Each structure stands twice: as structure tokens, then as C-alpha cells.
């Protein structure tokens, strides 16, 4: 376990799930341990250099993650996480533009549905879904099943140039509100 050396925790939402990245840094031993959702992905027990970076992959999409370790003053360190070569904030902002996420409860189970707008891939609880797309009068519909329930993501023009295309998730014909993350 990471114990008393835990110095940073980040939560990162990807299409296949939300990942918790934890970083332990022993500033006396130089120990570095990175875990993703509780699984150790990097362990270095003895390093003379206390600054630097650790790079690893996250999620089914193998998104590259890098933790930067920098000395700020004396024995204080700053830890920043980069995802896909961008600062975490830029990565989150970019995902907000390229994906849409819905959280729903179906038959007592929690589901997280993510649409990747560029590819129209649909993910549900970490699995890429088999979908069937069709063109309809006012846009497109992407159909898939969640358990025994029919889901449909409708993409249609907002009628406004700035907001472009809007996406709705229908579960058995009922509109589900989108989440912000």
C-alpha cells in the first residue's frame, strides 16, 4: 500500500471509466509508487534523483499519463499529471468538447454511458458497445442495448452555429440528462 508517502491523487474520466491515480513519493528514500485504481503500475524503491517524471498507460485506450515531480523550494515538491501529452486541465477541457457522458440507473444498476463524438463510438461501463446507426429526418440515431433496455443517442443540429450538433440519450424513449464530467 502507499502508506504515509502518498503525495497526490487524481481522478481522470476516460471513455471506459473513471480512473483514480495515486502517487507516493518517499522524499528520504526516493521511493516512487504509482497506482491506478489500486493496482501498482510503477514501483521504484531507491532513487537518488528526487525530481523527474514517471510515465505509464491508463485505461483500455492506453492513454499516456506522466507525473512530473519538481522541486519548488527546499524539501517541498510539486506534482503535476499530464494526460495524452496535455496538462490535466487541458485534457479535461478537450474531453468535454469531444465526448458526452450520461449516468443512469437501470434496473437498480448504475451505468456510465460515454459517446465519443468524433468516432460515434459508445462506451457503457468500460465496454465498447455494439451500435447500429441510422439517418433520420432531423439527424442521426445510434442504437444500442443496456441490459434489456433500448438506448438511442440522437444527434441533431441545434440550429445555432456556435453550439453545432446536440446529442440526447433516450432510454426506452425517455430523455436522460447529461452529466458534466
Name 145's Cβ contacts closer than 8 Å, sequence gap at least 6: 129, 151
159 falls in which pLDDT band (50, 70, 90)? confident
| Span of 59-68, 93-102, 142-151, 158-167 with lowest mean pLDDT | 158-167
Report the distance separating Cα 100 and Cα 164, nearest Å: 14
In the chain, domain spans: 3-84, 97-176
Q: Please tell me the predicted confidence (pLDDT) of residue 49.
A: 83
Q: Which three cell numbers stand for residue 9?
A: 491523487
18 falls in which pLDDT band (50, 70, 90)? very high
For residues 6, 46, 71, 63, the Cα torsion angle rounded to the nearest 10 degrees is: -60
61 falls in which pLDDT band (50, 70, 90)? confident
Q: What CATH number should be reported for the domain whose range is 97-176?
A: 2.40.128.180
| Mean pLDDT across the chain | 91
Q: Is the pLDDT of residue 1 over 60?
A: no
Domains 3-84 and 97-176 share a fold: yes
Report the distance separating Cα 157 and Cα 164, nearest Å: 6
Of 169, 180, 11, the closest CA to residue 96 belongs to 180
Report the distance separating Cα 128 and Cα 60, nearest Å: 10
Q: pLDDT per residue over 46-58, tens digit each? A: 888 888 999 999 9
Give the percent of the chain with pLDDT over 90. Answer: 74
Q: Is the pLDDT of residue 95 over 90?
A: yes
Q: Please tell me the predicted confidence (pLDDT) of residue 2.
A: 57
Report the distance separating Cα 153 and Cα 3, nearest Å: 44
Mean pLDDT over residues 47-70, rounded? 93
101 falls in which pLDDT band (50, 70, 90)? very high
Report the distance separating Cα 37 and Cα 19, nearest Å: 6
When the candidates are 2.40.128.180, 1.10.730.10, 1.10.3720.10, 3.40.50.10800, the CATH number that belongs to 3-84 is 2.40.128.180
Q: Which three cell numbers stand for residue 80?
A: 503535476
Q: Which three cell numbers stand for residue 171?
A: 432510454
Q: Please tell me the predicted confidence (pLDDT) of residue 63.
A: 95
Q: Please tell me the predicted confidence (pLDDT) of residue 124.
A: 96
Amino acid at each position: 500500500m502507499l502508506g504515509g508517502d502518498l503525495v497526490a491523487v487524481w481522478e481522470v474520466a476516460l471513455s471506459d471509466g473513471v480512473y483514480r491515480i495515486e502517487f507516493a513519493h518517499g522524499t528520504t528514500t526516493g521511493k516512487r509508487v504509482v497506482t491506478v485504481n489500486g493496482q501498482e503500475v510503477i514501483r521504484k524503491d531507491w532513487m537518488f534523483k528526487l525530481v523527474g517524471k514517471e510515465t505509464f498507460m491508463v485505461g483500455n485506450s492506453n492513454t499516456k499519463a506522466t507525473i512530473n515531480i519538481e522541486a519548488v523550494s527546499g524539501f517541498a515538491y510539486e506534482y503535476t499529471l499530464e494526460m495524452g501529452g496535455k496538462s490535466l486541465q487541458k485534457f479535461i477541457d478537450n474531453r468535454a468538447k469531444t465526448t458526452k457522458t450520461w449516468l443512469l440507473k437501470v434496473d437498480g444498476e448504475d451505468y456510465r454511458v460515454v459517446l465519443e463524438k468524433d468516432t460515434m463510438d459508445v462506451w457503457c461501463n468500460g465496454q465498447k458497445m455494439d451500435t447500429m446507426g441510422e439517418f433520420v429526418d432531423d439527424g442521426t440515431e445510434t442504437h444500442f442495448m443496456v441490459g434489456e433496455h433500448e438506448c438511442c443517442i440522437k444527434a441533431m443540429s441545434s440550429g445555432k452555429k456556435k453550439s453545432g450538433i446536440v446529442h440526447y440519450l433516450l432510454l426506452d424513449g425517455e430523455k436522460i440528462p447529461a452529466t458534466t464530467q
